[in-house]
């Protein structure tokens, strides 16, 4: 059975902080932003969390293709910032988008790749004919301790994908995952901020897993980088996706449309899915997109996607990634600290 993307939607909060402003507060030099290749990051409003972001992204996905929410048979929300430790985000999303009560739901967590794991779970249920439509969401309001390197990139955003087998805007031709036990980044129960292994997050974590999944999928499918028009890799900063693309043989031109981290930062579970949405916003029918996520801990999910004619019918049905990137309102560090709850009254 041919399965794939029926519709997609994104949401990026409108507030931004420039990395220069964070560097000013902590006495770091300009080399920080140059080194990360990230210049500003999104900041949630005072009343936004991973659930509100997931709902806005899901509503955009439904609106884009005019899909009846009662068709949805599964909702999986991937995030590392679920507002409840116990109580699913997925049920709140479902109620907010008016699904029926006849659906399965769960929250996923796998650092930055929980959203693509949700896509794979929906693909399985659709492919085995157990459900008509699945809703896979990656949404985060990620955390970085004040003054830590993570604070420069930890951003907020969400992306939702309706996965089905008819009226497809894009076919998912294949998927492949690469997973090992690698402690490069973690957050213990009850701790407000995650910890990370510094340079250890690079070669043995990001590069090994992204390259492992990407090469595994291309080998299985008998494809090569030149068979794809676009490529999207997980974007913890602006350097890693560019470097891994070069390592694998993809060009800068292929990754350019989906490289959104310099403008909005690392949106964690939504990062690679927003990059894919930005690419779908401009892709033409017949073009192919190669996508590989990365989640610390660690694992990568790779996807081969072929864009279909239907994309032209749904493209303008909801706000694009560029719509959300434009119209930003900038905060200074004091307002940013208030928005992120770093100030305890």
Residues serving a catalytic function are 80, 112, 234
- Give whichever of 62 and 126 is closer to another protein, judged by the CB atom: 62
Residues that bind another protein (CB under 8 A): 14, 45-49, 51-52, 55-56, 59, 83-84, 92, 95-96, 98, 315-320, 322-323, 326-327, 329, 338, 345
Which runs of consecutive H residues, i.e. helices, occur in 281-341?
311-314, 321-325, 333-339
- Give whichever of 27 and 327 is closer to another protein, judged by the CB atom: 327
- Give whichever of 284 and 322 is closer to another protein, judged by the CB atom: 322
- Give whichever of 198 and 327 is closer to another protein, judged by the CB atom: 327
Q: CB atoms < 10 A from the CB of 239, how many? A: 16
- Give whichever of 147 and 326 is closer to another protein, judged by the CB atom: 326
Pairing of strands 297-307, 170-182: antiparallel
- Measured CA distances, 10 to 18, 39, 57, 162, 183 (Å): 22, 21, 4, 12, 30
C-beta of 10: minimal distance to another protein in Å?
Answer: 11
C-beta of 14: minimal distance to another protein in Å?
Answer: 6
- Measured CA distances, 97 to 10, 69, 92, 118, 277 (Å): 15, 7, 9, 18, 20
Beta-sheet strand order (sheet of 297-307): 104-108, 72-78, 133-141, 156-164, 4-11, 170-182, 297-307, 288-292, 230-233
SS3 assignment for 25-48: HHCCCCHHHHHHCCCEEEECCCCC
C-beta of 263: minimal distance to another protein in Å?
Answer: 16
Nearest to 61 by CA among 20, 97, 25: 97
- Give whichever of 54 and 121 is closer to another protein, judged by the CB atom: 54
C-beta of 146: minimal distance to another protein in Å?
Answer: 18
CA distance 118 to 180: 18
Q: Are 339 and 333 in contact (CB under 8 A)?
A: no
- Give whichever of 84 and 186 is closer to another protein, judged by the CB atom: 84
Structure-block tokens of residue 187:
């957050």
C-beta of 313: minimal distance to another protein in Å?
Answer: 12
CA distance 80 to 223: 33
CA distance 123 to 162: 10
C-beta of 321: minimal distance to another protein in Å?
Answer: 11
C-beta of 320: minimal distance to another protein in Å?
Answer: 6
In terms of Cβ atoms closer than 10 Å to its own Cβ (0-12, 13-18, 19+), residue 25 is middle
């Amino acid at each position: 059975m041919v399965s794939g993307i029926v519709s997609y939607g994104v949401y990026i909060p409108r507030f931004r902080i420039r990395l220069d402003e964070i560097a000013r507060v902590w006495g770091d030099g300009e080399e920080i932003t140059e080194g990360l290749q990230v210049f500003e990051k999104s900041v949630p409003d005072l009343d936004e969390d991973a659930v509100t972001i997931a709902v806005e992204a899901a509503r955009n996905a439904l609106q884009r293709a005019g899909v009846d929410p009662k068709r949805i048979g599964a909702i999986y929300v991937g995030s590392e910032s679920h507002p409840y430790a116990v109580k699913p985000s997925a049920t709140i999303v479902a109620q907010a988008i008016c699904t029926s009560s006849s659906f399965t739901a769960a929250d996923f967590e796998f650092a930055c790749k929980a959203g693509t794991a949700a896509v794979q779970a929906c693909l399985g249920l659709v492919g085995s004919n157990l459900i008509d439509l699945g809703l896979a969401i990656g949404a985060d309001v990620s955390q970085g301790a004040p003054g830590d390197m993570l604070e420069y990139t930890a951003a907020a955003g969400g992306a939702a994908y309706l996965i089905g087998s008819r009226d497809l805007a894009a076919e998912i031709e294949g998927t492949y995952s690469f997973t090992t036990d690698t402690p490069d980044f973690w957050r213990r129960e009850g701790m407000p901020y995650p910890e990370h292994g510094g340079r250890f997050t690079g070669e043995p974590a990001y590069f090994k897993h992204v390259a492992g999944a990407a090469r595994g999928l291309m080998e299985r499918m008998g494809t090569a980088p030149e068979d794809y028009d676009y490529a999207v890799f997980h974007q913890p900063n602006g350097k890693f996706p560019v470097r891994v693309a070069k390592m694998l043989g993809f060009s800068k031109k292929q990754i350019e449309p989906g490289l959104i981290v310099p403008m909005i930062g690392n949106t964690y579970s939504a990062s690679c899915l927003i990059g894919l949405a930005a690419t779908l916003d401009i892709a033409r029918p017949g073009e192919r997109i190669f996508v590989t996520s990365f989640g610390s801990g660690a694992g990568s999910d790779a996807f081969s996607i072929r864009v279909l004619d239907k994309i032209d019918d749904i493209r303008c049905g909801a706000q694009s990634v560029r719509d959300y990137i434009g119209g930003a309102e900038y905060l200074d560090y004091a307002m940013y600290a208030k928005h992120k709850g770093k100030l305890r009254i």
